[in-house]
Amino acid sequence: MTEYNKKHRDEWTKRFLAEVGKEDLLEAAWNTPEGITLKPLYTKEDLENIAHQDTWPGAFPYLRGSKASMYVGRPWTIRQYSGFSTAEESNAFYRKNLIAGQTGLSVAFDLPTHRGYDSDHERVIGDVGKAGGAIDSVEDMKSLFEGIPLDEISVSMTMNGAVLPILAMYVVAAEEQNTKRHHLRGTLQNDILKEFMVRNTYIYPPGPSMRIVSDIIRFTSGEMPRFNPISISGYHMQEAGATVVQELAYTLADGLEYIRAALAIGLHIDDFAPRLSFFFGIGMNFFMEIAKLRAARQLWSQLVSREFQAKDRRSLMLRTHCQTSGVSLASKDPYNNIVRTTIEALAGVLGGTQSLHTNSFDEALGLPTEFASQIARNTQLIMREEMGLTKIVDPLGGSYYVEALTHSIVTEAQKLISEIEDIGGMTNAVANGLPKLRIEEAAAQRQARIDQKDESIVGVNCFALPDEEVVDIRHIDNQEVRRLQIEKLMLVRATRNESSCNSSLVALENSAGKDDGRLVEYAIDAARARATVGEISQRLENVFGRYRAEIRSISGVYGMMSSNHAEFDELRQSVALLAAKFGRQPRLLVAKLGQDGHDRGAKVVATAFADLGFDVDIGALFQTPEEVARQAIENDVHIIGVSSQVAGHMTLIPELMDALTYSGCGHVLVALGGVIPKQDHQHMYDSGVSVIFDPGTSILNSARKVISLLSGLDGS
């Protein structure tokens, strides 16, 4: 540093400290959840020892963009992740959106489809058509894309567990639309490793699941050269509570594992790596998210270049889809979510994403309405058409802060990737639960920061409105959708050639047992013969088995973060008084109903209540109401806390209350938390629910209400 610069730095420091009332710059530093210390000012001196600053877009290590021209040559693809009710209703929604300016489709499937069940299965009564469109057969897939030219429109399908039947039905639907498979463009998520970490829509154990991933990569590399066989996803990690660095590191570590799996079946790196794609969430830390995408491109190119010696430059380019954060959406003062989504969308574009989905403001309340979806889509159109973003490449390149932040993220992510590699890669890490544990700890820490108001959310824990406005939401008649799907299933089964269908399913099952690398081909044959999603999945399950996760919980994290908080201490004392009254600790069962695997909220509640002194049981995922009632009775709990994410509560909660009453345990209290629209509250109370907690409710506030409810019990 020159004497001139030193002089001006010292003068700035003196003025800054005087203006903010601090004596030391260290006091003004910001320590992020990622473990990165950020200063209040960055200068060119902060970049002196950072490599790759003199780089160009489209050139290794792709820090400034995967392509030289970026949006100047081609704007990002505007997508809306959508699907609900029946295939026919989803199709109508897609066609309207394409006319209105959407440039690619992102298909949401309902949870029964994800989990490999047909709509008539007894375990999915409350889930059909709720969190996405119901797909049971090729006929549904054909209806989903009716009138949509699949050789022209890029289709992204979020599917992991039942990925084989869904890919097969997509190929057959295209063929029967007279579209050759080698003309199909789009992306299959097909990222099963992250399902075992966070989202939980798996079907088979990790080993067979990885085999399916490899077979799909092999098949698409030869038969569908314009189609991305996998979208390696960090989005769901962020939704589950991962920090930016965790999301980045674990996503890239997943990518390395998929490359090794493909190489193990004889593929060459340059045969498939150019078609690998990524999927990241974009949260509210604006510059951190921009730097994350830049760091992702740099790290991926270096990792692939160093370990796999790729020759094709496209193998080194990280291409990504991004989606604005769902977990940042608040149910309170929901119109604020429009602003949040806009900020996040801008971060994704300034970071250099290739395609983008913007969430609707009402998604913390229920499925998005057409009104809200239009605002979300138009947010991207305004960014593309009015902001000048398509006229310059990497406008933040060279920013002292952004470049230094990018370097810090790279450094911290490398540490986590090395940790995963040291234990044998991500498959081993998933098996021993390390990434899941780290993410759950981060989620509990963040909830504690929010509850203590160390992290502000406008309209939730600060500047809250005295009265909440009721917002119209989309309502899906789950029972009617299920009735329609069952009718269609019956028709398919009645009109197909049963002998041909059964033969194709036997061939698929035999292939699963032989490991001959032809699972996709046999699945396509079965789909063409009108085998259903459930039938195809069951044949694979006959060989692979159905995976059941071990339920683990963390403890001490929320309590440690709240150790100096007066309200936390007061509530612990109240729990101790309850324990004295009951002669044992008050006992809580935290449960999920139906096929919803999103368990962030359930896990955070469980660890926080345990730290407050409750005796907490955590139910297995994917339970029926009868199974939850049985566990509550066997464990002699005082209260059941049900976490609901995907609107199955209207069907499943009344069934739970009936099961408790039938078993003579109607005295057990039920608390309901999650995405519960205001319009549904009275029905839930009429069903017997004692209290409802909306998204964003402070753990401490919910604990206070639960303690108050339990205080009215006699403790027997």
Active site residues: 81, 235-236, 592, 596, 598
Position 600, amino acid:
R
Burial of 410 (0-12, 13-18, 19+ CB in 10 A): buried
Answer for the pair 604, 444: CB distance below 8 angstroms, yes or no.
Answer: yes
Count other Cβ atoms within 10 Å, centred on residue 708. 11
Number of alpha carbons in the 13 Å side-chain half-sphere of residue 186: 27
Number of alpha carbons in the 13 Å side-chain half-sphere of residue 534: 17
Edge to edge, the sheet with strand 691-693 lists 615-618, 587-592, 639-644, 669-674, 691-693
Token readout for 403 is 């470049």
* SS3 annotation, 113-137: HHCCCCCCCHHHCCCCCCCCECCCC
Residue 61, preceding peptide bond in cis (omega within 30° of 0): yes
The CA-based diameter of the chain, rounded to the nearest angstrom, is 87
Residues forming beta bridges with residue 198, ordered by sequence position: none
Which of the 8 DSSP states describes residue 470?
A: P
Helical (H) or strand (E) element with 543:
helix 533-544
* Distance between CA atoms of residues 505 and 343, nearest Å: 49
* Distance between CA atoms of residues 221 and 26, nearest Å: 53
C-alpha 179, offset from chain centre: 31
Position 67, amino acid:
K
Q: Strands (DSSP E) along 150-215, which ranges?
A: 154-157, 186-188
Phi, psi of 162, deg, nearest 5? -95, 40
Answer for the pair 715, 581: CB distance below 8 angstroms, yes or no.
Answer: yes
Of 542, 599, 553, nearest to 208 by C-alpha is 542
Residues forming beta bridges with residue 282, ordered by sequence position: 324
Question: Which residues, other chains included, contact 46 with Cβ-Cβ below 8 Å and sequence gap of 6+?
Answer: 39, 400, 403, 404
C-alpha 620, offset from chain centre: 20
**N- to C-terminal Cα separation, the chain:** 73
